[in-house]
Amino acid sequence: MNEQRYAGRVAVVTGAGSGIGQAVARQLAAEGAMVLACDIDAAGLASTVELIEKDGYTATTVTADITRQADVDALIDALPERRVDLLANVAGVMDHFLPVTELDDDTWEHVLAVNLTGPMRLCRAVLPLMRAQGSGAVVNVSSIGGLTGAVAGTAYVASKHGLIGLTRSIANLYAEDGIRANTVCPAGVETNIGRTAAPKVPWAYQRLEKSFGRTTRMAVPAEVSTLVCWLGSPEAVNVNGATITSDGGWTS
């Protein structure tokens, strides 16, 4: 790890109150970034800041719901400087493992709002700043569910496929502005995202457990954050539009 590769840089991290987002925020702070950590969970954000301060660093936090445009606007207004060098869209929710014939509108709309529309709004907000400064990086955390039709229900899989499409579009359309966009696709990670899934079908977790059998273990958040932080750094300057798995061979 290059402890100074983010010195003087501003990083926005969503979903920073737990799991992968928390690990990303901690690593970025340790590498010198001015971190703006966002989550809907105020208590989770407080825990993240406590960990960062114990590490000897600082971070700014904003409690925000990325499905609300007003909250996204407030997040941008809270930037420590009027620039963004890295946007890490990590926030996400699961669905109820429902196939499309059993999928209700509320579940569909909520999952798409958090997993796809929210990241789009964040990208839409920060890209003008990145264009003005002539550089920037976006790292969107999708899932292996964005590469296959398995792992979760229709809403989750569709949202994560869409996030990869959003990332590739940004990579293509803004490369000339010095902006890069890449996607990370984890498999099973030890986070609390399972709290957002309340299975409505009896075979939901059996299906998930069967998929887990393809890997030797669950990953820990720091193993994914290392990839996210590398992609956002100058060391990955030639990586743009990539979709990279961090799945222990799950999709092999």
Question: Has residue 252 been placed in a domain?
Answer: no
Q: Where are the alpha helices (DSSP H) in 213-250?
A: 221-232
Whether residue 216 lies inside any domain: the answer is yes
For tokens 């092999």, the residue is 252
In a domain, 131, yes or no: yes
Taking CA atoms, 165 is separated from 62, 104, 112, 159, 207, in Å, by 27, 24, 14, 10, 26
Residue 200 maps to a domain: yes
Residue type, 197: A
- Choose, from 6, 57, 159, 160, the residue flagged as catalytic: 160
User: Six-digit token pair at 131?
Assistant: 């264009």
Domain-located, residue 1: no
Q: What is the pLDDT along the chain (252 residues), one digit of tens a residue?
A: 567 999 999 999 999 999 999 999 999 999 999 999 999 999 999 999 999 999 999 999 999 999 999 999 999 999 988 999 999 999 999 988 899 999 999 999 999 999 999 999 999 999 999 999 999 999 999 999 999 987 689 999 999 999 999 999 999 999 999 999 999 999 865 555 455 555 555 555 555 555 555 555 677 889 999 999 999 999 999 999 999 998 877 777
Cβ–Cβ < 8 Å for 75, 62: yes
User: What is the amino acid identity at position 14?
Assistant: T
What single letter denotes the amino acid at residue 112? Answer: L
Please, are residues 144 and 101 in contact by the beta-carbon 8 Å criterion?
A: no
Give domain status of residue 51, yes or no. yes
- The catalytic residue among 6, 18, 57, 156 is 156
Single out the residue of 57, 79, 89 nearest to residue 10, CA to CA. 79
CA separation for the pair 151, 126 (Å, rounded): 31
33 assigned to some structural domain: yes
Whole-model pTM over 0.75:
yes
Helix (H, G, I), strand (E, B) or coil at 198: coil
Residue 172: give the domain boundaries: 10-246
Of 6, 18, 57, 142, the catalytic one is: 142
* CATH number of the domain that residue 177 is part of: 3.40.50.720
Angle between helices 154-174 and 105-112 (to 10 degrees): 30
Does residue 160 have an active-site annotation?
A: yes
Helix (H) or strand (E) holding 35: strand 34-39
The whole-angstrom distance between residue 152's C-alpha and the CA centroid of its chain comes to 17
Q: How far apart are CA 250 and CA 31, in angstroms?
A: 30
Number of domains in the chain: 1
Instruction: Confirm whether 20 is domain-assigned.
Output: yes
Q: Is 142 a catalytic residue?
A: yes
Span 92-151, pLDDT tens digits: 999 888 999 999 999 999 999 999 999 999 999 999 999 999 999 999 999 999 999 876
Q: What are the tokens at 152?
A: 């979760």
Bridge partners (DSSP) of residue 245 are 185
pLDDT of residue 96: 84
What token pair was written down for 170?
Answer: 């940004």
Instruction: Specify whether 156 is catalytic.
Output: yes
